[in-house]
Amino acid sequence: MSRYLFVANDRALDFVNTAFAGGDTVPDVIAFVGWLEAVGMLTADEAHAALARATEPERERTIARVHAFRSALRRMVEAYVAGRAPVADDLAVINAHLQHAPIHDELVALAGGVASVRRVATDVPEALLYFVAEAARELFTRKDRQAIRRCANEACTHYFYDASKNGTRRWCRMAGCGNRKKVAALRSRRRAS
């Protein structure tokens, strides 16, 4: 089972959810690169290469920037859901990572043809934030704002994209927050009777 929680139906929101009340599933660069691999943004080889090249001071700088990026993204999601304009500083954080894509395609010769191969520059782990910034761009420009929701459990900080057929999803996870609310409501009804 993955140490990461993927409940949002959207990679940018899943990244926002890596910080939650009382916890953080990406406390260091190893976990950040692991998250990128787990969500399918990097292959295992690309993740390994990114970690192998990073020095300790670079890892410390990178995780500070990852956390700053995640905070800016959370504030943007909160503003977007509330129908407010995002703060210019938060947009700048996201845009800074959209400007330097660490990915490109190359043509390689094959027997009797040519193929396109994806190449990821893994020299600087911070550059890998591009993948999350790209997911955020998709979220804010291509998805329905009304379907982005915060879990109805007041104690939960998770966001999700409601892709349900009737658009009535209320919980980040029915087995977690939803079940706790159902149990609490049942206990309350039993006490009242």
Whether 4 is in a domain gets the answer: no
Which residue, among 46, 16, 19, has the nearest Cα to 136 in the 3D structure? 16
Q: For the segment 118-177, what is each residue's pLDDT rounded down to a tens digit?
A: 999 988 889 999 999 999 999 999 999 999 999 999 889 999 999 999 999 999 988 778
The stretch 50-71 carries a mean pLDDT of: 94
CATH number, domain at 32? 1.10.3300.10
Q: Give the angle subtended at the CA of 138 by the CAs of 43 and 36, to the nearest 5°.
A: 25
Q: How far apart are CA 34 and CA 155, in angstroms?
A: 27
Whether 1 is in a domain gets the answer: no
Range of the domain at 118: 11-192
Query: How many domains is the chain partitioned into structurally?
Result: 1
Q: How far apart are CA 73 and CA 148, in angstroms?
A: 14
Global confidence as pTM = 0.88
Whether 117 is in a domain gets the answer: yes
Whether 88 is in a domain gets the answer: yes
Whether 171 is in a domain gets the answer: yes
